[in-house]
Amino acid sequence: MSKNELLLAVESNRTIKDLETNNKYKFRIKAENIYGIGEPLETTSSITVKPSYDASDAPDTPKITEYNATYIKLK
């Protein structure tokens, strides 16, 4: 690399909206710099869209440890 060339790497994150859960997608990315727009790069494998969190399990059945006419204690 000559002293007149500048190498600049920028890592970017992008959010893509309206993708359907459990569908597979491939992406093509183009880089742009002072020399123009480069040829697109394509992902080597599909990416499956999933929720950002897993559904929680149902809670366990509570156990009554104490009670009376106006009070109940659960464990």
Domain chopping of the chain, boundaries: 16-51
User: How many whole angstroms separate alpha carbon 22 and alpha carbon 52?
Assistant: 12
User: Structure pTM?
Assistant: 0.47
Higher pLDDT residue, 9 or 22? 22
- DSSP letter at 55 equals P
pLDDT of residue 54: 80
| Mean pLDDT across 2-9 | 51
